[in-house]
């Protein structure tokens, strides 16, 4: 049995033939589309390393069946930067040293992008910490992560203000 | 994960027909189902994908009062729906204290009602579990039981229901609207989940193939909006299941409690409506004395199922605290740490 | 070799600069390649099947069912696994641990690998492993510290003495004005690096290439050579990035070797990645401990005796004993100190090095006991620690090579506001009525040196290369070692080609013991010094050079030039020196090793002081660490940004140790009942709202040529104890076990 689905991945619409309905979005990205930036830390929705945006919302790609996402728009860490220009969240993670080993980082960054889009945390560090608590960092880079999210949020808010 | 047939339903009727076969399971977001399938805990032979069904992702305000929430409404959409959160703030708070933002963005209302226990013996295929394998026994008994049930358990099963959302919903008399082969029916949420008794494998009253299509909050539920809280005690500050949780909703009339709603989470195999406590509270003056009496009433039947006697006293104290917070009034804005003992952030400026 | 974009070129010294990570762009774009991201042509997926029992035998595997699953290529069991050249149960030295490589049907712990399924897709391999449906002959699991009479081991940790003492502890206790005896228990913990152990293995005849996370490339290469009977030169191990190690990737684990065996069996490249639950068994853990401490003081509060005994557990088939008492050999002054260990054998995987092995567990007990003793003396916990400050290492009597612990106490206390601490427990509250507590703990981690080699080169165009098989597991080797290399060659970072992370480069030893920057850095220093010496020789011996006659000692390198020390205006570029000499390049190798003379003469440790504030709900018991301030002295700081991050991370591990981590074993089955990241708790972002790290200045002329001590592990020590002491101060309840959970504070 084969399944045909259409996914837009990082802006590119792709027709995908799946021979197996068991393939999760994460395994589709990593093993079949060779987008290995999204990481598998637990495969059970408990660490956040696989976080991507689906239709603009951050989700755990390890707990979504690809076949069920027919028609979805998926943004991964590979699609975040615009050419050579890092997304403000990416730049802020470097500036604030929001990582050590880097394994959770793609998930942290995609989660931060989702968090900022959700617009619920604003400039409140406590809300940012709560909102980022679905992303484990075993190295313990949380201090830098929170600072990076706050700075990127402020920069994006300022850019939006300028654009308006 | 076993191989399965994947069926994408085009209508509720189609879904119900496809799911009536033995071994079939509904797939919504899959945040719990895939977890279970990856662990080999459940091995459905057919998944009926209902995520593409139209019309089940709506939050409607009902003409006579109350709300209807579609089965596929995502947890975060429900929590952030301004009208809904204003009417049922404890429900929003419970939602936002559950899981992580990523999971809330995916998980659906119906999926939350249907989620399975986190009992580690249920999740360990090598352990005996009457839920997974009726008649096999319960290895949780005599095992690691710190987080197990203190109310409504049986010798066959001491697991708890893990939902946060269901706790305020059951307090507010939510009604589950169900579609099945034989047509539609509705069941009070309080009657939806079953206590284990001698058949812990039967977790809800759903018949094979039946599907939750929506949930209804009745007309009077919003009357508690001014005094509603959910509080959840956890082993870490966020992203943890409840050790014990409580939802309290009060209607204050002239300095007295006109009506009270109280429910507990993490104490039983279903969200636990504490009706005896509500009786104690009705007409009483809000305050420590009546709250303590209510707490005692709520836990009167409680007994430890292992090394978890602390949960009984913790639940009592949590009831007092949650009632106290509810009496003080629903906060203007969702706390930074929803449902947390550290919700107000003041600890950071000690 | 990862293609690392350079965004930071600085003139002058690199060491000491708070540079951002050179691998930052790769890591924030998802381009950094971890082992499981590799995909050689023809790759197959392998999934390990593990035992569900803790002791017994596997009596049946349904190989036919697994093989019958569409996509499954092969099932590797003991019956068809490739023959190995070395017995996996051989143990030639204390650093060699026994591996489970399907050599028998015996099960020695839960989650022991018992078969490997190899398939065209990950989905098929995963289901194939499930379909093996093993049957067992089960024997009762032996679990817990009371399972048998304890024995004293021959050695603890990595070859340390089980017992060490000075003076007569019994006499010291007998003469003490005040004495306490107290018992602390710590739970078993699992490393749980966010990257599960993974390997991509490809054979080409008798050549082998593996991509796998490694904190010890050279040792991994040698172990593979021994196991497969290969010339080490024919093995390439690549590990440019580790997704965290924390000790669990120091030595090659059994599952990694199984990936190589699977690739050999099927004759195609194989990728094997552990599932999260499989991280709880075959890749090491920190064993539980029960520590008994006896302390006595004179009337003034000066210790007269300190006795620290640790009971811990190792596996039934190998030896690793958590050296938790060792810390008491180094930290507090007492005329009589006794330290010892005993152990039992249980049916778990073999415990191994886990971030601050020994020191972490020992610290929480020792700092708790010190707090109890301070209280018994009626002294402030900080004053008590100062009163018993060790001016020389307590047992050995050696002077410290450097020790700025007093400054750590002072700066940390000032920053934290320790003077606002109310003396009586349960007497501070926040504005919401929650209990507030302050606690302090002393941090210490030995400043070790290991062995490493490096190669350096300067080329005619003035650029340089430094190469060594170093390891970046998040501590920042790509950045910090490159800073040392650039300074060593006297060139700007932008002119440096820094090569690392693979086994065909000079052996950089092991990234462990908080000694990698010191050791690999010293090897780099040695190699770059040798290169500069060659350049200096070319220049100072040449009449045409402005440096002629200055002598090697009379010149130094900066900005790609050699300059006269007595006149910095006179110098010559590397390019000019090489051009005139007609040389395309000069290169040299360097080595680093502990200097035994200075190590015998001095005790060498990093020190620190950690101050914790906790908030505890008085009724509900829930705890939050609202503030941590750590002040640490660790010699020369190569990159303060990275070092700060190491301290933060270590302190968060301290939070985790004190409040969260707990591998819950069912005592009947021996299975870890929370082998997942949902219920094996580590801190989330909301658990650590405020942490500060103070880098206290310290100069150490003895520890190594660069004066560098370690920073990777010290942060856990001190912190867990400070938190436990703060919980006591907040609540008046002394919990003598970790993790401290809310049910223990309900009163």
CA distances from A36 to A52, A66, C33 (A): 12, 16, 8
DSSP C174: H
DSSP E strand boundaries for C570-675 = 571-573, 585-592, 605-616, 623-633
Residue A54 to residue A47: CA distance in whole angstroms? 18
Task: List, as one string, the DSSP characters of A40-69.
Answer: -SSSSSSS-TTEEEETTEEEEGGGSBGGGG
Question: Residue C14: what pLDDT?
Answer: 87
Q: Measuring CA to CA, how many Å separate A60 from each of A48, A70, A108?
A: 6, 17, 11
The mean pLDDT of B261-267, rounded to a whole number, is 98
What is the structure's pLDDT at B348?
78
Q: Does A48 touch chain B (CB under 8 A)?
A: yes
Residue C642's SS3 state is helix
Query: Across the interface, do C52 and B126 touch by the CB < 8 Å criterion?
Result: yes
On whether any CB of chain B is under 8 Å from the CB of A127, the answer is yes
Interchain CB distance below 8 Å, A99 and C28 = yes
Rounded to the nearest angstrom, the gap between the alpha carbon of residue C738 and the centroid of all alpha carbons in its chain is: 20
Query: Which of 100-159 (A) contact C at CB < 8 A?
Result: 100-106, 109, 125-126, 128-130, 132-146
Q: Which chain B residues contact residue A58 at CB under 8 A?
A: 101-102, 105
Inter-chain residue contact B101 with A68, CB threshold 8 Å? no
Chain B residues with beta carbon closer than 8 angstroms to that of A17:
none
Longest dimension (CA), chain B: 62
Query: H/E element holding C408?
Result: helix C405-416
Query: In a mutagenesis test of the A interface, which of B7, B44, B105 is the best target, namely the one with the most A β-carbons within 10 Å?
Result: B105
- Regarding an ipTM greater than 0.90, the answer is yes
Model confidence band, residue B311 (pLDDT cutoffs 50, 70, 90)? very high
CA-based nearest residue in chain A for residue B348: A126
Residues of chain C with pLDDT under 50: 1-11
Q: Which residue has 């402005």 as its token pair?
A: C546
Instruction: Closest CB to C624: pick one of B118, B144, B342.
Output: B342
Cβ within 8 Å of residue C414, ≥6 positions away: none
Query: Which tokens in the block code for residue C337?
Result: 């100190």
Contact across the interface for A86 and C244, Cβ inside 8 Å: no
**Chain B / chain C CB contacts < 8 angstroms:** 123
Alpha-carbon span B106 to B96, nearest angstrom: 13
Is residue B321 less than 8 Å (CB to CB) from chain C? yes
Chain A environment of B51 (Cβ under 8 Å): 68
Q: DSSP letter string over A76-121?
A: -GGGTSBTTBPPHHHHHHHHTT--SS-SSHHHHHHHHHHHHHHTSS
Subunits with 3+ Cβ pairs within 8 Å of C are: A, B
pLDDT of residue C3: 47
Q: Are C9 and C492 in contact (CB under 8 A)?
A: yes
Residue A7 to chain B, least CA–CA distance (Å):
15
Query: What digits encode the pLDDT tens for the residues B19-40?
Result: 999 999 999 999 999 999 999 9
Which residues of C are the active-site residues?
713
User: What is d(CA A134, CA A118) in angstroms, rounded to the nearest whole number?
Assistant: 15
pLDDT for res C1: 37
Q: Which of C421, C617, C738 to mutate to test the interface with B (most CBs of B within 10 A)?
A: C617
Record: contact C23-A86, CB cut-off 8 A: no
**Which has the minimum average pLDDT: A53-57, B299-303, C10-14, C80-84?**
C10-14
In percent, the amount of chain B with pLDDT more than 70 equals 99
pLDDT of residue C95: 87
Distance from CA of A160 to the nearest CA of C (A): 23
Q: What is the pLDDT of residues A71-118, one digit of tens each?
A: 999 999 999 999 989 999 999 999 999 999 999 999 999 999 999 999
B30: alpha, beta or left, given left = phi > 0 and alpha = psi -120 to 50? left
Asked if the C-beta of A38 comes within 8 angstroms of chain C's C-beta atoms, the answer is: yes
Q: Over 80: is that where the pLDDT of A6 sits?
A: yes
Cα→Cα distances A29→A23, A71, B162, Å: 10, 15, 31
CB contact under 8 A, A130 and B337: yes
pLDDT of residue C9: 38
Other CB atoms within 10 Å distance of the CB of residue B255: 7
- The confidence score (pLDDT) of residue B350 equals 44
Which has the closest alpha carbon to B178: B219, B137, B208, B220? B208
Element (H, E) at C477: helix C477-489
Estimate to the nearest angstrom the gap between the alpha carbon of A37 and the chain centroid: 10
DSSP C326-385: GGGGTSB--S-EEEEEEEEEESSPPP---SSTTHHHHHHHHHHHHHHHHHHTT--HHHHH
- CB contact under 8 Å between C194 and A49, yes or no, is yes
Tokens of B235: 């082993």
> Which residues are within 8 A (CB) of C466 and not within 5 positions of it... i.e. 6 or more apart?
C454, C455, C456, C457, C481, C482, C485, C488, C489, C496, C497, C498, C499, C524, C527, C528
Q: What is the CA radius of gyration of chain A?
A: 16
Residues B333, A108: Cα–Cα separation, whole Å: 26
Mean of pLDDT over chain B: 97
The first and second tokens of residue B350, run together, are 């000690």
C-alpha torsion C226→C232→C238→C242, nearest 10: 40
Chain C residues close to A134, C-beta within 8 Å: 684
Interface A:B, Cβ pairs < 8 A: 101
Give the lowest-confidence range in A147-156, B7-16, C291-300, C546-555.
C546-555
Contact yes or no for C470/C481 (Cβ under 8 A): yes
Read off the pLDDT of each residue in A48-57 and give the average, rounded to a whole number. Answer: 98
C356's tokens? 């601050």
The alpha carbons of chain C give a radius of gyration, in whole angstroms, of 27
């Amino acid at each position: 049995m084969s399944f045909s689905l259409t996914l837009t991945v990082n802006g590119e619409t792709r027709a995908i033939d799946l021979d197996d309905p068991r393939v999760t979005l994460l395994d589709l990205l990593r093993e079949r589309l060779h987008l290995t930036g999204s990481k598998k830390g637990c495969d059970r929705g408990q660490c956040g390393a696989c976080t991507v945006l689906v239709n603009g919302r951050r989700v755990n790609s390890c707990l979504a069946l690809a076949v069920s996402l027919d028609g979805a728009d998926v943004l991964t860490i590979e699609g975040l930067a615009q050419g050579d220009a890092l997304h403000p969240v990416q730049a802020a993670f470097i500036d604030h040293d929001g990582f050590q080993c880097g394994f959770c980082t793609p998930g942290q960054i995609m989660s931060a992008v989702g968090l900022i889009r959700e617009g619920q945390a604003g400039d409140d560090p406590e809300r940012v910490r709560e909102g980022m608590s679905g992303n484990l960092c075993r190295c313990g880079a949380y201090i830098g992560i929170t600072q990076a999210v706050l700075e990127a949020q402020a920069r994006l808010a300022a850019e939006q203000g300028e654009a308006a | 994960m076993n191989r399965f047939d994947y069926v994408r339903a085009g209508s509720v009727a189609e879904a119900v027909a496809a799911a009536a076969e033995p071994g079939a399971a509904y797939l919504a977001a899959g945040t719990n189902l895939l977890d279970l399938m990856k662990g080999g805990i459940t091995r459905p032979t057919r998944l009926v994908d209902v995520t593409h069904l139209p019309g089940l992702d709506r939050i409607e305000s009902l003409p006579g009062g109350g709300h209807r929430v579609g089965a596929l409404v995502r947890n975060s959409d429900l929590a952030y729906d301004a009208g809904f959160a204003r009417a049922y703030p404890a429900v929003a708070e419970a939602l936002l204290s559950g899981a992580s933002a990523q999971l809330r963005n995916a998980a659906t209302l119906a999926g939350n009602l249907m989620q399975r226990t986190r009992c580690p013996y249920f999740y360990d295929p090598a352990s005996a579990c009457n839920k997974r394998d009726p008649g096999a026994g319960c290895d949780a008994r005599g095992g690691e039981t710190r987080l197990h049930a203190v109310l409504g358990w049986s010798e066959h099963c001491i697991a708890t229901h893990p939902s946060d959302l269901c706790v305020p919903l059951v307090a507010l008399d939510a009604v589950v609207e169900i579609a099945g082969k034989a047509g539609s029916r509705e069941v009070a949420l309080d009657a939806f989940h079953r206590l284990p008794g001698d058949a812990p494998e039967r977790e809800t009253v759903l018949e094979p193939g039946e599907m939750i299509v929506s949930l209804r909050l009745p007309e009077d539920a919003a009357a508690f909006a001014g005094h509603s809280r959910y509080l959840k005690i956890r082993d870490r500050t966020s992203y943890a299941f409840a050790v014990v949780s409580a939802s309290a909703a009060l209607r204050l009339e002239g300095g007295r409690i006109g009506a009270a709603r109280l429910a507990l989470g993490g104490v039983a195999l279903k969200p636990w409506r504490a009706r005896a406590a509500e009786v104690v509270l009705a007409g009483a003056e809000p305050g420590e004395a009546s709250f303590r009496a209510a707490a005692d009433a709520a836990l009167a039947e409680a007994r430890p199922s292992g090394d978890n006697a602390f949960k009984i006293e913790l639940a009592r104290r949590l009831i007092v605290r949650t009632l106290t917070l509810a009496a003080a009034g629903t906060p203007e804005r969702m706390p930074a740490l929803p449902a947390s003992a550290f919700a107000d952030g003041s600890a950071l400026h000690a | 070799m990862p293609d690392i974009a350079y965004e930071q070129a600085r003139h002058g010294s690199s060491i000491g600069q708070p540079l951002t990570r050179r691998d930052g762009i790769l890591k924030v774009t998802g381009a950094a390649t971890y082992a499981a991201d590799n995909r050689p042509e023809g790759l197959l997926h392998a999934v390990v099947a593990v035992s569900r029992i803790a002791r017994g035998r596997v009596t049946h595997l349904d190989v036919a069912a697994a093989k019958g699953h569409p996509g499954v290529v092969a099932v590797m069991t003991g019956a068809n696994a490739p023959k190995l050249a070395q017995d996996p149960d051989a143990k030639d030295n204390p650093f060699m641990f026994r591996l489970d490589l399907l050599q028998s049907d015996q099960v020695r712990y839960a989650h022991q690998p018992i078969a490997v399924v190899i398939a065209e897709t990950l989905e098929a391999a995963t289901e194939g492993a499930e379909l093996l449906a093993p049957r067992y002959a089960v024997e009762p699991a032996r679990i817990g510290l009371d399972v048998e009479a304890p024995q004293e081991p021959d050695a603890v940790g990595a070859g340390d003495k089980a017992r060490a003492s000075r003076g007569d502890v019994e006499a010291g206790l007998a003469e003490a004005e005040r004495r306490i005896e107290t018992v602390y228990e710590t739970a078993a913990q699992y490393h749980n690096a966010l990257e599960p152990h993974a390997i991509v293995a490809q054979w080409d005849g008798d050549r082998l290439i593996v991509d796998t996370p490694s904190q010890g490339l050279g040792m991994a290469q040698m172990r593979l050579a021994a196991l497969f009977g290969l010339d080490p030169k024919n093995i390439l191990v690549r590990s440019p990035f580790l997704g965290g190690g924390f000790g669990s990737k120091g030595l090659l684990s059994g599952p990694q070797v199984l990936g190589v065996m699977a690739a050999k069996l099927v004759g195609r490249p194989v990728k094997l990645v552990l599932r999260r639950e499989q991280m709880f068994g075959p890749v090491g853990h920190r064993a539980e401990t029960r520590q008994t401490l006896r302390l006595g003081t004179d009337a003034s509060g000066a210790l007269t005796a300190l006795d620290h005994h640790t009971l811990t557990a190792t596996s039934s088939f190998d030896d690793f004993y958590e050296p938790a008492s060792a810390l008491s050999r180094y930290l507090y002054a007492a005329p009589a100190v006794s330290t010892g260990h005993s152990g039992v054998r249980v049916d778990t995987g073999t415990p191994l090095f886990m971030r601050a092995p020994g020191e972490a567990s020992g610290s929480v007990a020792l700092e708790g006991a010190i707090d109890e003793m301070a209280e018994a003396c009626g002294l402030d916990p900080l004053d008590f620690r100062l009163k018993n400050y060790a001016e020389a290492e307590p047992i050995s009597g050696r002077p410290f090579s450097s020790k700025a612990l007093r400054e750590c106490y002072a700066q940390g206390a000032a920053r934290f506001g320790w003077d606002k601490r109310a003396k009586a427990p349960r007497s501070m509250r926040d504005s919401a009525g929650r209990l507030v507590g302050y606690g302090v703990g002393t941090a210490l981690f030995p400043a070790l040196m290991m062995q490493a080699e490096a190669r350096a080169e300067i080329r005619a165009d003035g650029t340089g290369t430094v190469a060594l098989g170093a390891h970046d597991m998040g501590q920042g080797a790509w950045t910090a070692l490159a800073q040392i290399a650039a300074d060593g060659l006297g060139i700007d970072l932008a002119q440096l080609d820094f090569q690392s992370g693979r086994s065909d480069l000079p052996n950089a030893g092991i990234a462990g013991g908080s000694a990698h920057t010191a050791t690999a850095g010293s090897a780099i220093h040695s190699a770059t010094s040798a290169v500069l010496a060659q350049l200096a020789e070319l220049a100072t011996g040449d009449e045409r050079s402005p440096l002629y006659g200055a002598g090697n000692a009379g010149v130094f390198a900066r900005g790609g030039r050699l300059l006269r020390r007595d006149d910095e205006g006179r110098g010559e570029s590397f390019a000019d020196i090489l051009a005139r000499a007609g040389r395309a390049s000069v290169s040299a190798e360097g080595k680093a090793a502990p200097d035994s003379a200075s190590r015998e003469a001095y005790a060498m440790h990093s020190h620190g002081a950690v101050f914790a504030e906790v908030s505890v709900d008085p009724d509900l018991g829930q705890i939050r660490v609202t503030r941590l301030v750590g002040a640490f002295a660790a010699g020369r700081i190569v990159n303060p940004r990275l070092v700060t991050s190491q301290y933060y991370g270590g302190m968060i591990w301290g939070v985790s140790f004190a409040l969260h981590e707990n591998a819950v074993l069912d005592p009947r089955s021996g299975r870890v009942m929370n082998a997942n990241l949902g219920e094996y708790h580590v801190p989330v972002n909301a658990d650590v709202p405020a942490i500060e790290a103070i880098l206290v200045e310290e100069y150490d002329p003895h520890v190594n040529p660069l004066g560098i001590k370690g920073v990777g592990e010290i942060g856990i020590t001190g912190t867990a104890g400070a938190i436990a002491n703060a919980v006591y101060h907040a609540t008046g309840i002394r919990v003598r076990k970790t993790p401290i959970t809310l049910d223990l504070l309900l009163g």
